[in-house]
Amino acid sequence: MSWLLSLPLIIPFATAIAAFLVRGHASGRWISLTGSAIALAAAIALLMVVLDDGVIAGQMGGWPAPFGITLVADLLSAVMVLITAITAFAVAIYAFGDIDRRREELGYHALFQTLIAGVTGAFLTGDLFNLYVWFEVMLIASFGMLILGGEKEQIDGGVKYVALNLVSTLLFLSGIGLLYGMTGTLNLADLAQKVETIPNQGLLTAVAMMFMVGFGIKAAVFPLFFWLPASYHTPSFAVSAVFAGLLTKVGVYAMIRMFTMIFDHDIGFTHTILLWIAGFTMVTGVLGAASQGDFRKILSFHIISQIGYMILGLALMTPLALLGAVFYLVHHIIVKANLFLIAGIASRATGSTDLYRIGGLYASSPLLAVLFLIPAFSLAGFPPLSGFWAKYVLVKASLDAEFWFMAFIALAVGLMTIFSMTKIWAEAFWKPHPTNPDPALDQVPHRGALLLPVAGLAVLTMVIGLYPEPFVVFAERAAAQLLDPTAYITAVLGAAP
């Protein structure tokens, strides 16, 4: 099975190299698109196998765990790899209309594919230090993409992005060192067993906090999210879409993985803190969004707010709550990336993302209006769209656990989300354009390449919303694997001793 696990990694790396070699040439975008398509096929194959056979593991270089590096795919990993591939494929199409020649010559496609490789690696690795390496790959590739174009605003955002993310790196690396010192292993499955034998469990909790803060920065939770609104509105739309969809979610994934499998020794302490973080993250994010007047800045703050929902699912730690967290992750990536892609189209049609300087899209571009409404209302949790089920499950999980206040926050934040989404709708779509009488979509060049991925992702949102059963069942199984990692550990280390 090991080839199936490494394919989703090899393909984007190989694509990155090929795209870099032809970077001065227009074929780079085709190489990137082809690579993304193949990676998508590989991700589908991987998910099918995991669905049929359960958790699969591959020992890289043939060294048995826990001595070498293990790649592992359980349901959560496999679905994250798939959703990454879907996002990458959509953005690779979108790049045809969004990324100019200058950025291509500077190596956009290579950076993009490397980023995807880093994200995929983070989802697949079963080794703590290897996870750190993938975080590094992601960080450096994303930094390169962020500043590609070299506008002053981009550099400013890029510096804040990289400086704060380096703090995360520092904490993560220190945490790895300390955890290795306590257990003598880096293999996640091995760690899951060995942490139980550590005599000073309080010390383990303190080290766990290092991971919580480190991943918390990556996931952009309260009060560690500053880098995100500082940078996400500055790069190309394709870049901010792939960031918005994937980067913070790697942090959330790492948090879920570590705080279900490794740091589950003192849930009363760690997960109570996570609960508070979740509440504050939901609220501060949504309030921040309401105060903005720019299409992308509003969306950026909403990422934060919705990370709070996922952390809520983790913090409650019940089967239903984790089901909700997994469902939310998948739903959110599709919807959020799509909204950023739409922001790009709207900006091209109207000339800006500043909501007070644009308008008129509803009258001139009904297709774009519909394509916006689907993810926007889904984000706000309106039925029958994907976001409704995600929100419903998490609210139910909160109420079941008798955390009334968290349920209230989750619902109220939904209302504030609809407030922000209707602000975009009223300003960019309903309101007449202040200067241009007819801002039309059909004047946008390459609009086919821009609209196609948006439509595709919108259809996915609708499918999940209207036919959620298979996704719910899947998320339920994934949550069960998280709560009982026996299958994961057995797949990595062989039969339990």
Q: What does the alpha-carbon distance between residue 143 and residue 157 come to, in Å, rounded to a whole number?
A: 10
Give the shortest CB-415-to-other proteins separation in angstroms.
5
For tokens 């496999």, the residue is 78
Give the shortest CB-383-to-other proteins separation in angstroms.
4
What angle separates helix 319-350 from helix 75-98, to the nearest 10 degrees?
0
74: left (phi over 0), alpha (psi -120 to 50) or beta: beta
Give the shortest CB-460-to-other proteins separation in angstroms.
17
Residues 147, 152, 156, 162, Cα dihedral to 10°: 20
Give the shortest CB-184-to-other proteins separation in angstroms.
3
Q: What are phi and psi of 59, to 5 degrees?
A: -95, 115
Residue nearer to other proteins on the CB measure, 216 or 453: 216
Residue nearer to other proteins on the CB measure, 230 or 444: 230
What secondary structure does DSSP assign to 119-179, as a single string? HHHHHHB-BHHHHHHHHHHHHHHHHHHHHTT--HHHHHHHHHHHHHHHHHHHHHHHHHHHH
CB-count burial class (<10 Å; 0-12, 13-18, 19+) for 243: buried
Residue nearer to other proteins on the CB measure, 21 or 448: 21
Pull the structure tokens for residue 16: 């990155």
Pull the structure tokens for residue 96: 């045809």
Q: What are phi and psi of 61, to 5 degrees?
A: 75, 5
Residue nearer to other proteins on the CB measure, 44 or 266: 266
Give the shortest CB-85-to-other proteins separation in angstroms.
19
Residue nearer to other proteins on the CB measure, 152 or 496: 152
Q: DSSP letter at 260?
A: I
Residue nearer to other proteins on the CB measure, 284 or 453: 284
Cβ neighbour number for residue 444 with a 10 Å cutoff: 21
- Nearest Cα neighbor of 80 from 119, 113, 42 is 119
Pull the structure tokens for residue 24: 């001065």
For tokens 């407030």, the residue is 419
Residue nearer to other proteins on the CB measure, 204 or 453: 204
Give the shortest CB-2-to-other proteins separation in angstroms.
12
What secondary structure does DSSP assign to 58-112, as a single string? EEETTPPTTTSEEEEE-HHHHHHHHHHHHHHHHHHHHHHHH--HHHHHTTHHHHH
Residue nearer to other proteins on the CB measure, 58 or 453: 58
Give the shortest CB-207-to-other proteins separation in angstroms.
7
Residue nearer to other proteins on the CB measure, 92 or 176: 176
Give the shortest CB-199-to-other proteins separation in angstroms.
7
Give the shortest CB-72-to-other proteins separation in angstroms.
13
Cβ neighbour number for residue 445 with a 10 Å cutoff: 9
Give the shortest CB-116-to-other proteins separation in angstroms.
12
Residue nearer to other proteins on the CB measure, 375 or 453: 375
Instruction: Identify the bridge partners of residue 131 per DSSP, sorted by sequence position.
Output: none
Residue nearer to other proteins on the CB measure, 163 or 448: 163
For tokens 């992601």, the residue is 138
Give the shortest CB-475-to-other proteins separation in angstroms.
9
